[in-house]
Amino acid sequence: MLGTGILKGMVETAKNFAGSYHDPERLTTVEYPEQRIASKENARQFPFLVHDTEDPMKGLRCVACQICEKECPPQCIYIVKSKDKRADYKGQMQFYPATFDIDLSVCMSCQICVEVCPFESIKMDTEFELSNTDRFGGLLVNKHQLAKSNEHYRKIHPTEAAASDAALAVEVAKAQAKAKADVEAKAKAAAEAKTKAEAAAAAGPVGAPASAPAPKPSSPAAAPAA
Amino acid sequence: MTFHDLAYDAGKTDFHRKAQPVGQGREGELLEVAMGPQHPSTHGVFRMDVVLDGETVVKLKPVFGYLHRNHEKIAENTSYLGSMPYTDRLDYFCSLTNNWAYALSVEKLAGLQVPERAEYIRLITAELTRVLNHTCLAGFLLQDMGALGTPLMYAFREREKILDLIESLTGARMMCNYMRFGGCRCDLPAGWLDAAKKVVAEYPKFLDEFDALLSGNEILMARTQGVGKLSAELAINAGITGPMLRASGVDYDLRKVDNYGIYSRYPFRVPLGDHGDVYDRYMIRMLEMRESLKILEPALKDIPEGPVVDPKAKLRGFRPKAGEAYGRIETPKGELGFYLISDGSPNPYRYRVRPPSLINLTILEDMCLGQTIADAVITLGSVDIVLGEVDR
């Protein structure tokens, strides 16, 4: 019969209309900004720089290697490397960014800078309310605005942060082991040198003739040149 | 002297002319109308230069390029990885299938293997994307027909559930940037599979509701049946792919033809139309959603544990050997292909996209001729274009 389809459709809309008064599941809108949905754990908006210490500028993990600058598809990162070096989290001497700017109006939140960073120093933030009245400078953020603590990172991406912390701990352990090995090797070398020197000192007069033939190998090489 | 006097003196304005009815003395003349580029029914910045005889379309010229972003040239000047986020912006409803098509062609070029778990994730996300796209399309098509609000709102309510899944997996609702060469970027988060199973299990309820609301509706049938007909012969000759081709009765689905990914493991049917009109195109999409759910249900159960990316694949310094490759998949809109030529450098020598939306759009005039302008609007809606992909 003509009109049955229309009536069937009307019943559906009526069900939804009446249902929205009884079933909160059917009310799908959220009254932003009074109500908010918690952001997803994987959510990403724009990058920030992770720092470990109280003073954000001293504890930046970034070593200004400029890999992210090179890999960024829309080229929104600008880095100037420092002239001097300073000790990083594992005590190694590294450069640091004298300038680190990101133009958020160009950034497309693709996360490639995060993926290519070998130092776990740039991560994605979940902050999205960035509207600004300054059209040109307002979204060009410098390293002071970008620096956020590792605690912040742990708070917004707990699973990822745990993995990153673990990776860094491995690095620190490696560095410490290497430093320890270095110290031991140095001590060993020093001890060896000492015993050699002692031996040499004990040998005394034997040392002088032993050192005398040393220049010999270089003299034939010098002769053809002359 | 006032402006009024000036104009009067110059004789440019006849203030004493008599009012005349519009169009008097113009019977039989053709009228040229530029629909768009900001017309709400053109699905973006697209223009149709229509020549009308009364209300009948006698000529139609699609004009596009307003959203041209130089995608191919940009990709030729960035690294292989760098153009992955740009592929999201092609067909912004289905960024995951775009990612897959691009990743597939690069994997062919570089000879990378995709681990089992990543293949499953790709299949699941692609099928979710198909459901999402067809849901939106049904809403938009009804919106074009004048069913303002209700169907689109119902469709968007369901789309939101899938978008939530995609966001918790990839971090973004639409610009996912998720696939990588030789796998996927990250593993599924905890609890994702259960959430996905729930959404998939509840989805048929929505499809039943939508069918009850619309598929049998007499007004919808009257507006769509016999409108925008496309014969199988013309569709094949014009290179049409996707649901548009299948609505004309041609059994051609790359998931069956190419057997890429792990589609051969799951039985599903390819819905075909008889008439090739707007109603068939609408129904094909409704049926395809049910078939996609049939693939999703077992795939979500079967997904194995394991790595999600080929350990041989490198993020930085990726330089495939010199050569060429063409990778294609069946996206919700048709065959999306990427043709790449590598000369051994970090960026492709040539990068070409075969966008389904653009090629499906070329046939628009043949479908609209001899019909009213209101039918041209729904015919365009049934083609399912996204201007990000048409213009690139």
Nearest-by-Cβ selection for B212 from A8, A116, A124: A8
Q: Please tell me the least confidently modeled range out of B211-220, B334-343, B371-380.
A: B211-220
CA–CA separation, B219 vs B224, rounded Å? 9
Q: In sequence order, what DSSP letters do the residues of B304-368 get, joined into one string?
A: PPS-SB-TT--SSS--PPSEEEEEEEEETTEEEEEEEEE-SSSS-SEEEEE-HHHHHHTTHHHHH
Q: A190 lies in a domain?
A: no
Contact B192, B168 (CB under 8 A): yes
Nearest-by-Cβ selection for B177 from A12, A28, A110: A110
pLDDT of res. B99: 92
Q: Find the CATH number of the domain harbouring A70.
A: 3.30.70.3270
Length of chain B: 392
CA–CA separation, B168 vs A37, rounded Å? 13
For residue B368, the distance in angstroms to the closest alpha carbon of chain A comes to 27
Q: Encoding tokens for residue B305?
A: 């544990």
Q: Which candidate, B60, B111, B115, places its Cα nearest to that of B322? A: B111
**pTM (two decimals):** 0.82
Nearest-by-Cβ selection for A3 from B169, B186, B218: B218
pLDDT of res. B7: 47
**Hey, are the CB atoms on A115 and B315 less than 8 Å from each other?**
yes
Q: Is the pLDDT of residue B374 over 70?
A: yes
pLDDT of res. A208: 47
pLDDT tens, residue by residue, B250-276: 989 888 888 888 888 888 889 998 888
Q: A193 lies in a domain?
A: no
**Hey, are the CB atoms on A42 and B168 less than 8 Å from each other?**
yes
First-residue to last-residue Cα distance in chain B: 55
Q: A220 lies in a domain?
A: no
The interface residues of chain A toward chain B in range 167-226, judged by CB-CB distance below 8 A, are none
Prior bond to A33 cis, omega within 30? yes
pLDDT tens, residue by residue, A168-192: 888 888 888 888 888 888 888 888 8
Angle between helices B192-210 and B278-302 (to 10 degrees): 150
Q: Encoding tokens for residue A119?
A: 């130092």
Q: Is the pLDDT of residue B139 over 50?
A: yes
Alpha-carbon torsion, ordered B282, B285, B289, B294, to 10 deg: 120
Burial of A32 (0-12, 13-18, 19+ CB in 10 A): exposed
Contact B175, A110 (CB under 8 A): yes
Angle between helices B278-302 and B116-145 (to 10 degrees): 150
For residue A117, the distance in angstroms to the closest alpha carbon of chain B comes to 10
Question: A67 contacts in B (CB within 8 Å)?
Answer: 316
CA–CA separation, B209 vs B203, rounded Å? 10
Q: What residues of chain A score a pLDDT lower than 70? A: 1, 204-226
pLDDT of res. B28: 66
Contact B332, B129 (CB under 8 A): yes
pLDDT of res. A223: 45
CA–CA separation, B109 vs B102, rounded Å? 11
Region B370-375: mean pLDDT is 87
State how beta strands A97-103 and A77-81 pair: antiparallel
pLDDT band, residue B26 (cuts 50/70/90): low
Contact B308, B186 (CB under 8 A): yes
CA–CA separation, B319 vs B105, rounded Å? 14
Residues 6+ apart with CB under 8 A from B35: B41, B42, B47, B48, B49, B50, B373, B376
Question: B175 contacts in A (CB within 8 Å)?
Answer: 108-110
Q: Which domain holds residue A120?
A: 47-171
For residue A135, the distance in angstroms to the closest alpha carbon of chain B comes to 22
Helices (H), chain B: 3-10, 71-76, 84-88, 95-110, 116-145, 150-170, 192-210, 218-224, 232-237, 243-247, 254-257, 278-302, 356-361, 364-368, 373-383, 387-391
pLDDT band, residue B311 (cuts 50/70/90): confident
Alpha carbon separation from A166 to A47, A117, A155, B358 (Å, rounded): 21, 16, 16, 48
Backbone angles phi, psi at A85, to 5 degrees: -115, 160
Q: Is the pLDDT of residue B102 over 70?
A: yes
Q: A51 lies in a domain?
A: yes
For residue B375, the distance in angstroms to the closest alpha carbon of chain A comes to 21
Burial code (b: 16+ CB inside 10 Å, e: under 16) for B252-284 equals bbbbeeeebbbbeebebeebbbebbbbbbbbbb
At A202 the three-state DSSP class reads helix
Region B116-136: mean pLDDT is 91
Contact B96, B238 (CB under 8 A): no
Nearest-by-Cβ selection for B160 from A4, A28, A67: A28
Contact B76, B64 (CB under 8 A): no
pLDDT of res. B388: 86
pLDDT of res. B5: 54
Q: A85 lies in a domain?
A: yes
pLDDT of res. B373: 87
CA–CA separation, B191 vs B177, rounded Å? 21
Domains identified in chain A, total number? 1
Answer left, alpha or beta for residue B335, where phi above 0 means left and psi between -120 and 50 means alpha.
Answer: beta
Q: Which of A25, A26, A76, A112 would you mutate first to test chain B, the one with the most B CBs within 10 A?
A: A112
pLDDT of res. B128: 92
Q: Encoding tokens for residue B284?
A: 């094909």
Hey, is the C-beta of A30 within 8 angstroms of any chain B C-beta? no
Nearest CA in chain A to B314: A116
Nearest-by-Cβ selection for B167 from A13, A28, A40: A40
First-residue to last-residue Cα distance in chain A: 115
Nearest CA in chain B to A1: B218
